[in-house]
Amino acid sequence: MATKHHGTPRERLALDTYIKLSRATAAVDARINRPLAEASLTTSQFGVLEAVWHLGPLTHGEIGRKLLKSSGNVTVVIDNLARRGLVQRESDAGDRRISRVALTATGTALLEAVFPAHVARVVDAFDSLDADELATLSTLLRRLGRAAAAAGNQPEPDRATGAHALTAVQTAVQEDTR
């Protein structure tokens, strides 16, 4: 196929791995999250619902750190969930800047209706790898993610609480960093 140019083997290896990482993630995400549309939920909305379901009422800031989203974004997603009556904002007695997000009965019901199938899809998405391979993959990804996160950037996850929301599924696994 005659690759035109580009440099060292190391560069090619890195670029190649990067492509596969991007593609695999895109494919897995699509497979896992697309079906959420049937419940009229986006990935982010599901993420918020799930985080609050597992952990109880959370502030915007906590949610943002868990899902790795900007504060402005959190406001929007919560607005959309609140508009549909799936969550509600509760103000904090002590600190009036804070507003905590809690599931409504409707929200709880919806999440519980959708969650089992979601987990099943996650399992399915990974069923091409056996337990050892999953463990290996997990280890490599953790190193990769850690290094990338450490290297300068970002909102900094949520190391403190040990619970990780992220793009859905999050809190189902309380451990990540261990």
Partner DNA sequence: GGCATATATCTTGATGTCGAACCGTTCGAT
Partner DNA sequence: ATCGAACGGTTCGACATCAAGATATATGCC
Give the helix ranges, DSSP H, for 56-104: 60-67, 71-83
CA–CA distance, 33 with 107 (Å, rounded to integer) = 18
2 binds a copy of itself per the rule CB under 8 A:
yes
Under rule CB under 8 A, which residues in 95-154 are in contact with a copy of itself?
119, 122-129, 131, 133-138, 140-149, 151-154
Q: Which does 157 bind (CB under 5 to 8 A by kind): DNA, a copy of itself, none?
A: a copy of itself
Phi, psi (degrees; rounded to nearest 5) at 68 = 60, 45
Q: How many CA atoms lie within 13 A of 161 on its CB side?
A: 18
Cβ proximity to a copy of itself, 93 vs 151, nearer residue: 151
Question: Residue 105: which of DNA, a copy of itself, none does it interact with, CB under 5 to 8 A by kind?
Answer: none
Tell me the helix, strand and coil percentages in the chain, rounded to 5: 60, 5, 30
Residue placing its CB nearer to a copy of itself in the complex, 109 or 144: 144
Rounded to the nearest 10 degrees, the angle between the axes of helix 105-125 and helix 43-55 is: 110
How far apart are CB 119 and DNA at their closest, in Å? 20
169 lies in the site for a copy of itself, by CB under 8 A: yes
Ranges within 145-164 binding a copy of itself (CB under 8 A): 145-149, 151-154, 157, 162-164
Contacting residues toward DNA, per CB under 7 A: 34, 37, 42-45, 59-62, 64, 68-80, 89, 94-100
Alpha-carbon gap, residue 167 to 30, rounded angstroms: 12
